[in-house]
A and B are shown apart, each in its own frame.
Chain A
Amino acid sequence: AQSVAQPEDQVNVAEGNPLTVKCTYSVSGNPYLFWYVQYPNRGLQFLLKYITGDNLVKGSYGFEAEFNKSQTSFHLKKPSALVSDSALYFCAVREYGQNFVFGPGTRLSVLP
């Protein structure tokens, strides 16, 4: 069975500093991995995905994520955080022939 963990409920970072939001997963085969962002009173918005190939994936709004197969991780990163990046972030996994499974979410607060 698929599962996703986001070990931090909350991440605080100062504006201009690099940010990392962590995600680990468990699958039996090869996963498709996704990051979504949710702003207040809105639905989830797609940021980026990993399918295969290059372990560093670039996405929207300057975000990137690093796939590490040996550590079964897919951490979201950004070199310089903005106050406007403050939101709820979800990691998701999908195996072949399966539905999406979402992590519990990590709330990112970027402090001015």
Chain B
Amino acid sequence: NAGVTQTPKFQVLKTGQSMTLQCAQDMNHEYMSWYRQDPGMGLRLIHYSVGAGITDQGEVPNGYNVSRSTTEDFPLRLLSAAPSQTSVYFCASSYSGPLFDSNQPQHFGDGTRLSIL
């Protein structure tokens, strides 16, 4: 059981470049989310999805796009990379519940460490 898989593990980009961070889960979870982790700021929610075809913005969505065409995959796209997007990015998934009321914890991938020069 692989859980949540993120690729790549490391990436260096130049300002203005675009890229896609991949996330896949094999637990049939409806809820998937992307966070960025910066020192002293905890995890901040970028975008989330409650099922295939449904996405919404989190706390810090600017500069990022997402899509959810399947239950398993939830890619995060950086449209035009900026140095402020240098961070560690985590994907997570969990059972959502029929009314978005689940008390189940999230499962996290091991992160993508992204540097923007």
Contacts and interface: CB of A to CB of B under 8 A. Distances in A.
Nearest to B44: A102
A43 B90 contact: yes
B105 interface: yes
Nearest to B104: A49
B47 to A, nearest CB: 11
Given A51-B103, A96-B101, A99-B33, A43 B42 contact: no
Interface in A42-85: 42-46, 49, 51
Contacts of B108: 36, 43-45
Nearest to A47: B105
Interface in A12-54: 32, 34, 36, 41-46, 49, 51
B94 to A, nearest CB: 8
A102 B42 contact: yes
A27 to B, nearest CB: 14
Interface of B: 4, 33, 35, 40-43, 45, 48, 58, 90, 92, 99-101, 103, 105-111
